[in-house]
Amino acid sequence: MKQIEIKKDILSAHEMLAQENRELFERKGTFVLNLMSSPGAGKTTLLERTIELLKDTFSLAVIEGDIATSYDAERISSLGVKVVQINTGGACHLDSAMIKNALAEFSADRLDVLIIENVGNLVCPAEFNLGEDAKVMILSVTEGEDKPFKYPLMFRIARVLIINKVDLLPYIDCSTKRIIRDAISLNPDLKIFEMSCTKKIGLNLWKEWLKEEINKKKYKIIAR
């Protein structure tokens, strides 16, 4: 029982900081994505493609979360966007305090989009709000069709599900129809995109959704 109380206290403290982050992003009109997946699902490749789609229209920055190394940050930095690396040193997720500290490295007044690449994990990142506008879960078809019911919290809290690596479907036993059916049963409001980030399949719908959401937040600031 004591352990449960401690966990609630920790989550409550992080939620307060997440709300502070959220209020800052609201004031600045910055649209924030939190990318979450298991290792190897394609988060970094999706991030690269997303930057390529948006960088000529919007100002972007990235926070990279990894237990160790800066490999992904180096990949993203080569695209000409500001990147801050967070190494968690063993922690299996990013939290709102880490994000708050990293924000000091950015000029939020001139930032339309902040993309956070969380640590590769389908469990812990789902429990921690960062102040984001949208939690985006990436699931590769190579991981199998059973993941929604194995990791239900991740699917329940996500606003977007990206089913990635669909170019590999002819070579594996995976039903995207089952993934979609099970995911929607857990979260009827889930927005779902099927794509291959490496082959650049299905990216246009993702781009259009992003542009609409980014502009919606920018116009809220203008309307004030």
What CATH code is carried by the domain that includes residue 72?
Answer: 3.40.50.300
What integer pLDDT is reported at residue 13 of this predicted model? 81
Distance between CA atoms of residues 62 and 52, nearest Å: 13
> Measured between alpha carbons, how far is residue 23 from residues 15, 75, 130 in Å?
12, 30, 11
Predicted confidence (pLDDT) per residue in 81-113, tens digit: 999 999 998 889 999 999 999 999 887 667 999
pLDDT at 2 over 50: no
Q: Give residue 222's pLDDT band: very low, low, confident or very high (50, 70, 90).
A: low
**pLDDT value of residue 110:** 79
Query: What integer pLDDT is reported at residue 218 of this predicted model?
Result: 79
The Cα 72–Cα 21 span in angstroms is 24
Other CB atoms within a 10 A radius of the CB of residue 112 amount to 18
Q: Angle, nearest 10°, between helix axes 203-223 and 43-54?
A: 60
Count of the separate structural domains present in the chain: 1
C-alpha of 53 from chain center = 16
Rounded mean pLDDT, 25-32: 94
Query: Average pLDDT, whole number, for the chain?
Result: 92
What integer is the mean pLDDT of 210-216? 96
pLDDT for 14 beyond 60 = yes
- The two structure tokens encoding residue 148: 């929604």
What's the pLDDT band for 8 if we cut at 50, 70, 90?
A: low
Q: What is the predicted pLDDT for the residue at 9?
A: 57
CA distances from 64 to 30, 31, 60, 216, 219 (A): 17, 16, 13, 25, 28
Which of 46-55, 100-109, 120-129 comes out lowest in average pLDDT? Answer: 100-109
Q: How confident is the model at residue 3 (pLDDT cuts 50, 70, 90)?
A: very low
Q: Is the pLDDT of residue 130 over 80?
A: yes
Q: Give the domain range for residue 19.
A: 2-223
pLDDT mean over 185-208: 98
pLDDT band per the 50, 70, 90 thresholds, residue 76: very high
